Structure formats: C-alpha cells, structure tokens
Amino acid sequence: MGKVVPSGGERGPAGASRPAATRFAALRREILSPSLSFLMEAHDGLSAKIVEEAGFRGIWASGLTISAALGLRDSNEASWTQVLDVLEYMADATTLPILVDGDTGHGNFNNVRRFVRKLCERGLAGVCLEDKLFPKTNSFIGEGQPLADIEEFCGRIKAGKDAQLDDDFVLVARVEALVSGLGMAEALRRAEAYRRAGADAILIHSKRSTAEEVLAFAREWANRAPLVIVPTMYYATPTELFRAAGISTVIWANHLLRAAIAAMRETAARILEDESPVRVEGRVASVQDIFRLVGNAELEQAERRYLPAKPTAGAIVLAAAGGEPGGMASGRPKCMVDIRGRSLLETLVGTLRESGLRAVTVVRGYGKEAVRLDGVRMVDNDRHAETGEAWSLACAREAIRGETVLAYGDVLFRRYVLDALLASGADAVLAVDASAPRPRRSSPSPPDLVLADRRFSGHFLDDAPAHLLRVANDLPPEEACGEWMGLARFSARGAAWLAEEIAALEAEGLLARADLPLLLTRLAARHPVQVLYFTGPCWLDVDTLGDLAEARNFG
C-alpha cells in the first residue's frame, strides 16, 4: 500500500512543511525499537508542545484526559468527531508522532475503518484499540467489565489495518482480560488472536498496584510482538524491571492533566483567598512563556514576510552603570545579574521585542566585556566612570532616528506599560508611577520624581493629558506627581527634539555631567512631553538586594 501524504503536508511549530509519513515511521520505530521507549500523555495542542519541549519522542493522546479536559467522563461522552478535532490541534502543534487512545474504535468495524482513515489524513501516527464494548467504561471503574467477542474484535483490527493510508501506521491492540479478572490464560489467548489479526503491538493492561502480573505476561508472551504497558497503578516499579522484561514501550498516561488539575486548584484557591494574584504570580508560567509556546515569534516572522513593511520603533537601553544591586562585589555589571535563569538585560530586551521592537541598541560601560546579548547592537561608553546618563545616550545618538523607546538597563516593567507608550499619539511620553515613591533605605540612587501640570485622578472618565514640568530626584515627595519608571517613547518628531537637546547640552559644555532628568526637563521646557500615569506593581527598579529578590518573582 503506498503512503498517502495529507494535502499540504504537516506543519510543525516553526511552520515548516514536512511529509506526514515521517511521523508514521517515527512511531513505528519507537514501538519496534529493541530499547525501551516512552510516550507521554497530552490532551490538547499546548500540552503536546510541552511534551515535545520536554524531550519525549512520542505522545499518547489519552482518551481519559481529552474527555476530562472537555469536562466529560471517559465513557465515550465526547463523540469521535469531537475527539478528532482535538487530535487535529495536537498534530498541528507538534512534530512528534502521536499514538491515539481510540477506546473501542467508537463502534464496530465500520466505525473503526472510518476513524483510522481520518486519523491518517491528519497525520496521527497510530491508534490503540481496547477489546471492550461500546460505549466503554474506564478500566479503573468497577470490576468484571464485559469484553468484546474475540472474533468480532479481530474484525475491528483487520478493518483498521485495511483502512490505514500509510504502511507505517501503527495499530496497538489493548488486552483487558487481566483488568476484567479473566486470568492470564485468557489474556494470552486474546493477545495471540489479535497478533494474528494484524495488530502491530499488544498493550497488556493491569490495575494492580504491583507489576507482577504484567511481568508474568511478558515472560509468557516472549516478545511475539512488541509489548506496551501503562503503569498508572504500579508506577513505583523500577523502570529497569520493564527494560529487563523486554517491554517495548511505557505510556505515562495521564500525568500532565493531573499535574495541571493540582496546580490550577491551588492557584484558584489562593487567588480567591487573597483577592489578589500577588502571591502566585512568581509561581506560575509567565504570559510571555505562553506566547513562546504557541509560536508568536513565528507569526511575527510571517508578518514581516507577507505584510507590507512599515516603520518599526527602535530602542536604546542605557546599561553603562557599574556594580551589582546592594553593592555585591562580583565585578559583574548590574544589567547582567541573574533573573530566574536569564540576565536582567535579556529579560528587559525580551519585553521590548515582545512589543515589536527589534532594533535594540545597548550602551554598555562598566564590565563591558560581560555585557553580551545576541541580536543586540552594543555601543560603548568608555568614560562611564566620569560621565552621566546623557553622555551614554549621546554615545548611541546614531540610533535616535524614527520612533525610539528609551529605557534604563536596570528596570523591569509589564509589557502593557510599554504597549501603552507605543499606542500614545504624543511625540514624547514618559511612563510615570502615580503611586507614592517606595522607601529606598539602602538604595544608592534616589528616585526620579516627576512634577506635571496635572496629577493622576484615578477616575476612569478623566482622560485629559498631563504634561511634564520637571524630573528631579530632589523634589519634595509631597509635591511630586509620581516617579519616572526609566521608560520613555519618542515619535520620529520627538526623537529629533531629543537629538537637538543632546546637541544643545554638548554645545553648552554640560553633556558629560548631565543626567536624564535634566535632559527631559530641558526638553519639556521647549516641547510638550506627555506624562502617562500607571498604578500598581507594574514595574521594578533593580537597585538593592531586596529588589533583586523581588525581580525573580516578577512574571
């Protein structure tokens, strides 16, 4: 029988087309391999991606967990077409081969052959059929469940093999005799009949807490066909025993959904109790991790390929300052401290890129050899010890063209803050925290306080713009309207204003010592600079050891 490739081939996470037959062959290799193979459960597209990312070579599309994720019982309450929809999303989400838990085949031989054809058309690499009656009941519920007639079930196997559209499609026959209490002899009799009917492998199922009867079956079976097991109940059995028994494949059948249920239940209870997500934020996956898993980066690449080009904003990050938070003396620049496995700079640049800023320039100085990041243009301020922030910005003046975002290299902020700046129609706009400035007893640098022509009112109907009057760290706190977050955006026109002000400072001999508060205050005296107020824990200035600890929980 010739191989049939579904129209358009398969799509992996990167969008590259590949022949569907490769996944059929990959599953067959795993099942027939003389070494022990492992399949991990998945129940939707996202969990399939997680299985692939973890390093497994194949996926078990569990009937139990797919049904449970739909809020249904594992009793064929979801129709086979509803299950097929989920399976299609899973196949699209991963390049791994998927063995489908086909329950009883959703009916008789005719349902089986139609189901198998639809699986093949969608690139699903194999199916497991169990010798029970339709509608099925989960094996772990009740005792003595009736089984299908052997000859009738062999007909389902033959129909499935005749209907497959690829020679490498794998059909696994699942023997329920041990679960139903019919004994070892009946289990062996059924397994041999299913092998003769054309099954590519046998799954022997057990719900005992030890692997004794499964291992006994393996000894009697003597590798007449590959043997698959599901150690849900006898999970404590050392894997080496399965390997020594010649088991072909181990299926971890439901663990991802069970883990998700436990985590979701705990998170929901904590947020309800606290009326806030603050305590769970550092323990859950970040929104950025979701974007990465579902392939937002690929969509951005496709947009650049297929959509008309439009000017994009650039970013300048000032990261020339020296010393780690709290005066730690490792010699590492502050921007390179570790934030949950990524440097502070990498985390900051990641947020910029998620908002569409690709052209990022970093001004480095202290410990510049250690400041490295792929895809980022580095500019050096070799006079960092004797100059201020305005001088560092002037080192990158070639990057001040078109729409430009300016950020300190030791701040973190929620993406919505940057998105709001980018959506602003103002030519120059600053992100300002309208909350009272936090006390900084051990911080070497005082906050950049903002004085504007309008304070934050907190009223959702008050959308009148506020404009900058002054930025300084010697403003009386009671007069300040908020604290500048170290983040600003300039339109092409505003960037020209910024460049002109840098040139004016240079002409007056003030550039070397000027800081950004002075530069922005001078700019506001000549041009309108809008203040965009934010409240709540939406940003973090990493300046102390306490800030560093907080940054590691800043999702």
**CA–CA separation, 211 vs 152, rounded Å?**
29
Contact 178, 204 (CB under 8 A): yes
Give which of 344, 349, 355 is closest to 377, Cα–Cα: 349
Tokens representing 403 are: 């729409």
Closest CA to 32 of 168, 230, 188: 168
Grouping H, G, I as helix, E, B as strand and the rest as coil, residue 482 is strand
The 3-class secondary structure across 366-405, one letter per residue, is: CEHHHCCCCCCEEEECCCCCCCCHHHHHHHCHHHCCCCEE
- In whole angstroms, what is the distance from residue 545 CA to residue 394 CA? 30
Is residue 132 helix, strand or coil?
Answer: strand
Residue partners of 346: CB distance under 8 A and separation at least 6? 373
Which of these is catalytic: 74, 131, 515, 547? Answer: 74
Parallel, antiparallel or unpaired: strands 530-534 and 466-472: antiparallel
How far is residue 252's CA from residue 257's CA, in Å, rounded to a whole number? 11
CA 196 – CA 200 distance, rounded (Å): 10
Q: Which residue type sits at 366?
A: Y
Burial class (CB in 10 A: 0-12, 13-18, 19+), 133: middle
CA distances from 237 to 3, 208, 226 (A): 39, 12, 20
Residue 391 CB partners (closer than 8 Å, separation 6+): 381, 383, 511, 512, 513, 514
Q: Taking Cα atoms as reference points, which of 224, 529, 261, 533 lies closest to residue 406?
A: 529
Q: Tell me the C-alpha distance between 100 and 379, whole Å.
A: 53
Contacts of 152 (CB under 8 A, 6+ apart): 108
Report the C-alpha gap between 192 and 122 in whole angstroms: 30
Contact 362, 373 (CB under 8 A): yes
Rg for the chain, CA atoms, rounded: 31
Please indicate whether residue 547 is annotated as part of the active site. no
CB 179 within 8 A of CB 145: yes
Q: Which residues are catalytic?
A: 74
